[in-house]
Amino acid sequence: MSPIAASPTPIVSTIESPIGPLTLTAVGGVLTGVHMHEQRHLPPLPAGCRRDDAGLAHVTRQLDAYFEGTLTEFDLPMQMQGTEFQRRVWTSLAEIPYGETISYGELARWVGNPNASRAVGLANGRNPIAIVVPCHRVIGADGSLTGYGGGLERKVWLLEHERGDSSHSTRPARARDLVRPALQTQIV
């Protein structure tokens, strides 16, 4: 009888970023989560996980380069747990070009169900790998900044960052302090 192979131990690391702390999780070198502090739908840490900053250094390097403005496309092995529909939505999110936005309705068309804007929005909100899988690039049909699990201030910051707006700080700070006053009326 052959021994049963043990599953790799999940690992976790927390890094600082311009939008606050990010918690990273992975299993066997494969990224399974990028979560913002105090985000909606924050899942618990994987059972039996251990801290391993070195094991997530490849993710940290790419996120640092993204925040420095030198990386526009991530190249990381990822695994996202969800329903088939959620995974289709998340795969489609990864196809939205850096610095561009699409509407929830357009994303619904991309996943083959043009009447599923609301379901697409719910799946978008459950994206387990924020920033890398760019759910922040989805906006309302009228161009408004609608919900974001990490908070609308962070969504504004990420969109401005990708558009090359250098008026915001690149040092870690409270996300609310990074929102330009002209945009605050849209997100209140």
Right CATH for 84-187 from 1.10.10.10, 3.40.640.10, 2.40.50.140, 3.20.19.10 = 1.10.10.10
Delimiting residues of CATH 1.10.10.10 domain(s) in the chain: 84-187
* Averaged pLDDT, 15-19: 96
How far apart CA 122 and CA 138 sit, in angstroms, is: 12
146 band by pLDDT with thresholds 50, 70 and 90: confident
Which residues are identified as catalytic? 135
Delimiting residues of CATH 3.30.160.70 domain(s) in the chain: 10-68
pTM exceeds cut of 0.85: no
Beta strand spans in the chain (E): 10-15, 22-27, 30-36, 50-51, 102-103, 138-139
Q: Answer for the pair 9, 24: CB distance below 8 angstroms, yes or no.
A: no
How far apart CA 94 and CA 72 sit, in angstroms, is: 12
Report residue 79 as tokens. 């695994």
156 band by pLDDT with thresholds 50, 70 and 90: very high
Give residue-wise pLDDT tens across range 62-106. Answer: 999 999 999 999 999 999 999 999 999 999 999 999 999 999 999
Task: Say which CATH class 10-68 falls into.
Answer: alpha beta
